[in-house]
Each structure stands twice: as C-alpha cells, then as structure tokens.
Amino acid sequence: MSYVFPPPAQVSVEVKGRAERFPVNRIYCVGRNYAAHAREMGKDPDREPPFFFTKPANALVPNNSTIPYPPRTANLHHEIELVIAIGKGGKDIATASALEHVFGYAVGNDLTRRDLQFAARDAGRPWDTGKAFDRSAPITAIQPAQGQGFDKGKIWIKVNGEFRQQADVADLIWDVPEIISELSTLFELAPGDLIFTGTPAGVGAVKPGDHLEGGIDGLDTLITTIS
C-alpha cells in the first residue's frame, strides 16, 4: 500500500519491566469523577453521573518530559489521574467481568486550558480546545495489572515541591469496573484504548518553569516540567 505522504508513527507507551510497548488506539477521559472536584467545578456529584470526552492519541507525552506552555491560554491546569490501559476489547461489558479487559494502569495528567474549557462550556460548545490540545496528556509507564483491580491508593501531585492535589483512588464516584462497563455501552472498546479516570479536588494553574511530580501508590511517579 502506498500513501500520498508517510503515515504518522504508531503512538505507544512504555510498559513497566517489558521491552514491548503498549500501542495506543484511543484516549477516553471521565469528567467529574471525584465528588470534591465536581463541587469545586460548581457541580453536584450526587445528581450528575460522570460523562466522557476524548483526547487524541498523539496528545500523550512520556514521563520525564519538558513540554512548552501551550498557546491561546493564560490558565493551564494540572489534573492528576489514574489511567486504565485496555488489553481486551468488547462492548456492553458486564461490571463483574470488566477487570478481564484491563492490561494495566498508569499515572496521567489531564492538562487543561481552563479558560478555553470554561468559555466553551458557557457557550454550550465542545471542550476540544480546552482538553484535546497538543501534549496535553503526560503519562508514566504502564504497570501490568496481572488480573488485579485498582480500588485504593493515595493519588497526589506536587508543583515545585508543594502538594496541590491529595486524595485516594477509593474516592472515585465510579470505580474502574463501573467506568469500563459504562464506557463500553457507548463505544466498542479496543485493545490499546486508554481511560483517564478523573481527577480529585485541588486542580490549579501552572506556569512556565514549574516542575510537576505526581503519583499513585504502586505506580511510577509522573515528572513533567513546563517550559
């Protein structure tokens, strides 16, 4: 097969302890999946279930990267998250069997141009310019799940050595099996899909020169510098 120009390289993520890499298909993100964060965004988590949005696969940035402050924003926010890596596809997946579809877990940062997100929200428009921009998804290596779930563990991020977000994965409104099950009713999941599961309270602005470190118990620490 020939192309009018060379196709882009396959986006992939490092797998902890293995030479093989995880080829990325799609990136899904869950909105407002921690109650305290929903409240700080002005929403009531007891009345609104989580919803989904997407980022392009090429928004991923490997661990220990320096990334430029993005254009057209004056309010870039960090959002530390547990990421699910899907290894087995399916649709209408039962909650009881959802963990069979998990390849592993990683730490991600759903970087957000908050001013553009809020402007789009207030105008009733899609969030793409606020969420799906270039280099908006730093991620660690994926830790293989080995059949295990991920239902607890401290989640945190520090900016220039000061804690900004601190919570526990146990605080998720919808847990890992429920997220997979619900998402699979909207899309047919495929091997290579990543799911950013939502961020806890404490999101805030970063600026050029800031050094970010974030993690979840049992996973690598995600380190990013904003230039």
Q: pLDDT tens digits for 71-124? A: 999 999 999 999 999 999 999 999 999 999 999 999 999 999 999 999 999 999
Band of pLDDT at residue 33, cut at 50, 70 and 90: confident
pLDDT of residue 111: 98
| Reported pTM | 0.95
Distance CA 94, CA 113 (A): 35
Strands 60-61 and 137-138: parallel
Determine the pLDDT at residue 222: 98
Range name among 16-30, 34-48, 81-95, 164-178 with the lowest pLDDT average: 34-48
Q: What is the pLDDT averaged over residues 181-205?
A: 97
Residue 32: pLDDT over 90: no
pLDDT at 44: 67
Per-domain boundaries in the chain: 12-226
Helix (H, G, I), strand (E, B), or coil: what is residue 158? strand
Fold of 12-226: Fumarylacetoacetate hydrolase; domain 2 (3.90.850)
Q: Is 19's pLDDT higher than 60?
A: yes
146 vs 132 pLDDT, higher one:
132
